[in-house]
Structure 1
């Protein structure tokens, strides 16, 4: 019963106590937001630009990202910077990290926001991983790993600011079972699972990575946490049945502007310095993650597997 109470609590949150107006001045801060051409990511970028941050928009579709940047400039008077990034292709992930590091020496806030939700089962990443696990877990893990040297340098160079990594989780991470490593790559075990189950697993994995990053790098000045942004009406739901989506959208879904509040609270507020290893829920509140997230052995096993994948890729 406790699990389902948590799901209800996260799905129907009280009125927010934090707003975009509460974001402090971010002049001199460099932020990077993945999946920012629409939805929650675009609203995060809007909040950051409105408070004078320099913002990189990580996305793969040039037409969409240029339209988003144009829209945001019209709304805020500030212009985001496109960073070409496809999390479903490790070559693109590596190139994007190299491109960013060639332009910037510091990174103050990393929002690992991009994701994919319940695509057809035949869809896999460029390297043959399950599309959801590859995009939602492996890609962001590799991207963050490549940017860690920059984040660590920022921590040393900015005594008044601790760099922050915010992983976008989901309420369904609470319902996920222990990870099935046999489903991470394409094969019979994966094809036996539903897209819904694979999505839940990926969001659990993304949350576990955030917790492990918090454990490993918290003492070195980096704040890492995971955020359930809420049940939000965005393009990530494009694979849903349109009739069911229209009904659910009227009953249970909230606008992207609300979905951006909890990530922005974590990434910009003074309270953020005390959020290392936390799991946040709508709107800008503390929650309780799936107990698997707090299992040291489970996290280490996932971390080892992820390290093996990127090491294998780097040798290719």
Structure 2
């Protein structure tokens, strides 16, 4: 009953009390948005540029990113900066972090926004991980880990002494009871799972990672939050069947709404006090999956993630 209430609460949010116009001036702030070439990521980048942030558009496709940068400049008068990042390839992630750090000493906000949703089960990352967990969790973990020095420097340079990491999860994180480590790479156990259960597992992974990041680095000025951006019309639904799309379409909102909660976390004064919280549409604190509060599981996942990237 609790999960059903949470799902309904997140699917049918009240009118937002936070709007793009409420974002403060971001002059001097250096921000990365992963997956900023489309959907919620692009809407997030648009709002940040409008409020004078220096925004890195981190995306896999240079062509799509450059097209987005062109469109965003036409809409905002400000120009984003392309950062080539393929979250399904650990070597690409390392190169992206090195490229960023060759240009910037400080990072003030990292929006871990990109993700893949319910692709065919046989799809894997370049490093042989389940595509969803490998991209959504392993990829963002490694990117964030490499950028920790930049985030700590960003926190030290900020008047409020904080830098922020905003991790985009989903209401699907409520629909799983844990992380089966036997399904995270290409194994027989993984092949027995459906793509929707693997997606839910990856979204729970986002919340567990976010909470553990807060526990480990909160005392160094890093504020880590996770969130459900809402049920949104976006390219993420491209792998759904016609029947699934027809079923969910009546509860989908424009992508611009999906940016609100992460912009609240990443830019507002209230966001400074949201470390370790799970946020829901629109710009509210939610309860999340009780499993995400399991510090032992979060620690085990962090240890596993560290092991995956130690020899990249």
Normalised by the size of structure 1, how large is the TM-score? 0.97
Residue aligning to 2:58: 58
Distance in 1 separating the partners of 2:3 and 2:263: 26
Distance in 1 separating the partners of 2:244 and 2:184: 28
| 1:164-313 matches, cutoff 5 A | 164-249=164-249, 251-311=250-310, 313=311
Secondary structure of 1:117 counterpart: coil
Deviation at 1:248, TM superposition (A): 2.3
Are 1:25 and 2:25 counterparts?
Answer: yes
Deviation at 1:177, TM superposition (A): 1.7
Secondary structure of 1:280 counterpart: strand
| 1:83-102 matches, cutoff 5 A | 83-102=83-102
Deviation at 1:237, TM superposition (A): 1.1
Deviation string 1:241-289 (CA, Å, 9 cap, x unpaired) is: 135314522x110000000000000000011110110110000000012
Distance in 1 separating the partners of 2:243 and 2:256: 24
Q: Which moved more, 1:239-248 or 1:48-57?
A: 239-248
Distance in 2 separating the partners of 1:94 and 1:310: 10
Give RMSD over aligned pairs. Answer: 0.9
Secondary structure of 2:45 counterpart: helix
Distance in 2 separating the partners of 1:196 and 1:244: 12
Deviation string 1:140-159 (CA, Å, 9 cap, x unpaired) is: 00000000011111212223
Q: Which moved more, 1:235-244 or 1:87-96?
A: 235-244
Distance in 1 separating the partners of 2:262 and 2:213: 17
Secondary structure of 1:55 counterpart: strand
Distance in 2 separating the partners of 1:9 and 1:160: 32
Secondary structure of 1:305 counterpart: helix
Aligned residues: 312
Residue aligning to 1:140: 140
- Which runs of 4 or more aligned residues in structure 1 lie more than 6 Å from their structure 2 counterparts after TM superposition? none
Normalised by the size of structure 2, how large is the TM-score? 0.98
Distance in 1 separating the partners of 2:160 and 2:133: 35
Residue aligning to 1:112: 112
Q: Which moved more, 1:115-124 or 1:159-168?
A: 159-168
Distance in 2 separating the partners of 1:247 and 1:276: 35
Residue aligning to 1:73: 73
Secondary structure of 2:190 counterpart: helix
Q: Structure 2 regions of 5+ residues with no counterpart?
A: none
Secondary structure of 1:260 counterpart: helix
Distance in 1 separating the partners of 2:122 and 2:8: 32
Distance in 1 separating the partners of 2:76 and 2:52: 10
Deviation string 1:39-80 (CA, Å, 9 cap, x unpaired) is: 000000000000000000000111111111111000000010
Distance in 2 separating the partners of 1:237 and 1:138: 22
